[in-house]
């Protein structure tokens, strides 16, 4: 079951609900697979400049934490069954949970060490 407090986002594909999340390891695998930095990947996703191969790779990486057995073709099948709109929305939400924006005035986490 997807736990949004831990970055999990449900993606219903047919009769099955999968969990997408982007842990540090999943983000590293995504960078390796697309040969781009996560910042460039997110910029591309946010601008709508997304081809189907990239979308399938995003789904695959998002599935890695909870569904390691799934390959790229499996991820494509999940995306097809879920539909483009639901898939893109789930990826976007999972990215937001993985890398929330820091609120103005919020303290750094972890805080910087005090000077001696």
Q: Across all residues in the chain, what is the average pLDDT?
A: 87
Give the pLDDT confidence of 38-48 residue by residue, as tens digits: 999 988 888 87
Distance CA 62, CA 21 (A): 5
When pLDDT is cut at 50, 70 and 90, the band that residue 2 belongs to is: low
Q: Choose among 91, 92, 24: nearest CA to 60.
A: 91
CA 99 – CA 85 distance, rounded (Å): 21
Sequence-distant (6+) residues with CB within 8 A of 66 are 8, 18, 19, 20, 21
pLDDT of residue 74: 98
């Amino acid at each position: 079951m997807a736990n949004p407090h831990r970055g999990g986002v449900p993606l219903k594909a047919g009769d099955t609900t999968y969990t997408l999340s982007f842990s540090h390891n999943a983000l590293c695998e995504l960078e390796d697979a697309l040969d781009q930095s996560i910042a460039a990947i997110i910029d591309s996703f946010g601008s709508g400049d997304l081809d189907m191969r990239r979308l399938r790779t995003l789904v695959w990486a998002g599935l890695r934490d909870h569904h390691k057995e799934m390959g790229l073709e499996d991820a494509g099948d999940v995306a097809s069954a879920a539909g483009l709109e639901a898939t893109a929305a789930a990826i976007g939400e999972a990215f937001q949970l993985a890398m929330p924006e820091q609120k103005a005035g919020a303290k750094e986490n972890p805080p910087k060490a005090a000077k001696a």
